[in-house]
Structure 1
Amino acid sequence: MKKIIKILFTIIFVIISIFVINKLINNFLIDSLLFVVLAFVLFAMHLFIWIAPKTFFDICWKITNILPDNFDYDTSYSKLEVCDIGLLITSILLLGISLLFK
C-alpha cells in the first residue's frame, strides 16, 4: 500500500512540477524559486531514500551521532518509509505554495 502511495505522489509531484517550471519561465519570482528549489531538494532526498534506503539512513545516522544513546538504529530505520512519504508530501506542498505567488 505504501509503495502505491509513493508512486501516486511521485506522479503528482512530476505533474505539478511541470506547471511550476512553466510558471517560473513565464513569470520569474525569486520567492517562488525558493520554494521550488526546496521542493526539488526534498524530492531528491525522497528519490535517494527510495533507491538506496540503507545508504541514506547510514549517512543520516552518522550525521546525527550526537543524539542520546536511547535512539535505536533498527527502530529508527523501520520508520524511514513513513518519513519518505512525509518528504514527498512536503515537497508537493512546497510546490503548491510556489504556485500561490503572482
Structure 2
Amino acid sequence: MLIKPFNTRYRLARYKTPDGDTCIGKLSFDTHIGHFGHTLQSYIVYQYYHQRVTQPLIIQQLTELGFDISTGQINEILIHDKDHFHTEKIHC
C-alpha cells in the first residue's frame, strides 16, 4: 500500500447565460467521498481498530508523512458511516 499526499485540482465549467445568470458545472458523485481518499481512510481505520494505534499517534504518523489532517478529521473518519461494520460484528 502506498500512502502519500496527492492533491487534485478540479476545474468546473462556468458559463454566463444571455440573461446574465451564471451556470457552474458539478463534480461527479465519486468525488464526494470526503477530503481524504479511500486508501488513507482504510489505513486510519486499520491502524486504530486492528493495530490499536491511538489517535494521537495516528496524527503524528500522518503529519510526519506530510499530511495536513486534524484530529477532528481522523475522529470523523473513525466514527462516520460505520454502521455496516457493527452489523457484521453482531452476525459473526
Fold agreement, TM-score > 0.5: no
| TM-score calculated relative to the size of structure 2 | 0.30
Higher strand share: 2
TM-score (norm 1): 0.29
Query: Larger Rg: 1 or 2?
Result: 2
